[in-house]
Amino acid sequence: MDDMNQTASSKDAIRTVNSRAYGSFQVTESQIYHFPRGLIGLHEFKDFALIQVDDGPFHILHALNDELSFILLPAHLGAENYGFQIDRPTVELLAIRQPEDVNTFLIVNAIDDELFVNLKAPVLAAPGSRRGCQFVIDDPAYPIRHPLIRKEGS
């Protein structure tokens, strides 16, 4: 995984992750997020590395102790006018004080050579607390499979 731009240098690394999909890579403490509730349907997985791929927009969310991984895209790149309210328990879980304290990502899925993003259940990551969660939005306007449209110039 030499092409991941945020792969830790050996002096900063605190953990090596071995992945069949991405090879071995090292991560620093700032790249490790604890998900107290796990992810939807995957509650047993609590600790993940969040790594940006190359200089592009995609990130990998990889379980530290398993082969489980997801491709993520910052929400502002996956859907226009995407916004929602975070409830008080989620604010407390993430230990955030303002909306800018959290990064919102969409899980990317490939189905029949098309890319889709999940608008219904974004992944929230708070760099300050290094906590994360998957947040379910109760709004029928946000589908689980929203086509990812390539914008001109990207």
The count of domains in the chain is 1
- Residue 153 included in any domain: no
- Residue 91 included in any domain: yes
- Residue 8 included in any domain: no
Q: Using one digit for the tens of pLDDT, what is the confidence trace for 7-55?
A: 554 456 688 888 988 888 899 999 999 999 999 999 999 999 999 998 8
pTM, entire model: 0.88
CATH number of the domain bearing residue 116: 2.30.290.10
User: How far, in Å, CA of 140 to CA of 153, rounded?
Assistant: 31
Q: Using one digit for the tens of pLDDT, what is the confidence trace for 83-110?
A: 999 999 999 999 999 888 999 999 999 9
Residue 81, SS3? coil
- Residue 62 included in any domain: yes
Residue 13: its pLDDT value, please?
A: 62
Domain carrying residue 19: 15-147
- How far the first Cα of the chain sits from its last, in Å, is 23
**What average pLDDT score do residues 68-94 get?**
94
- Res 153 pLDDT > 60: no
- Residue 152 included in any domain: no
- Residue 99 included in any domain: yes
What are the residues whose beta carbons fall under 8 Å from the beta carbon of 52, sequence distance 6 or more?
4, 5, 6, 58, 59
- Mean model confidence pLDDT for the chain: 89
- Residue 51 included in any domain: yes
- Residue 84 included in any domain: yes
